[in-house]
Amino acid sequence: MNDDDAIGERDAEGHLPGAGARRTLVIACGALAREIVALRSGPLAHLDVTCLPASLHNRPGRIPAAMRRKIAQNRAAYDEILCLYGDCGTGGELDRVLAEEGVARIPGAHCYEFFAGATDFAALMED
């Protein structure tokens, strides 16, 4: 087996060969990129972060396929991939893709809910 064949294989604990600590990738909404980058200098410094374009919010039907592509592009390099995205108008399709891919998503209907918090966001939507 050459080195290319070993990519993607994992040990009994699910770690990539030769990897020390678990490698985790967060795929986030580009609308949250600035805030996520700020967090990476502190409590989330151990995570790798990549973002989908913020412009996808203008075409939410494209979010699930873009997420699936980003997961596929990065699957072999990480022990775990997480999704920092709301449903953002995908009508549950994003959750279906994530379930098929085995990727967890933070709860929430919209990425912007993370800025305000669930209670304040609900009040803003009600207004």
Q: Which residues contact 45 (CB under 8 A, 6 or more apart)?
A: none
Parent domain of 87: 21-126
pLDDT tens, residue order, the chain (127 aa): 333 333 344 444 444 444 456 789 989 888 777 777 777 777 667 788 888 988 888 898 999 999 999 999 999 999 999 998 888 788 899 999 999 999 998 876 666 666 666 687 677 768 7
What span, in angstroms and rounded, lies between the C-alpha atoms of 41 and 92? 32
Q: How far is CA 101 from CA 37, 72, 87, 89, 111, in A?
A: 25, 9, 16, 20, 20
4 is a domain residue: no
Query: Sheet harboring 104-105: ordered strands across?
Result: 48-52, 24-29, 80-84, 104-105
pLDDT digits (tens, 9 = 90+) for 69-104: 999 999 999 999 999 888 878 889 999 999 999 999
**Contact present, 112 and 121 (Cβ < 8 Å):** yes
58 is a domain residue: yes
Number of domains in the chain: 1
CATH code of the domain containing 27: 3.40.50
118 is a domain residue: yes
1 is a domain residue: no
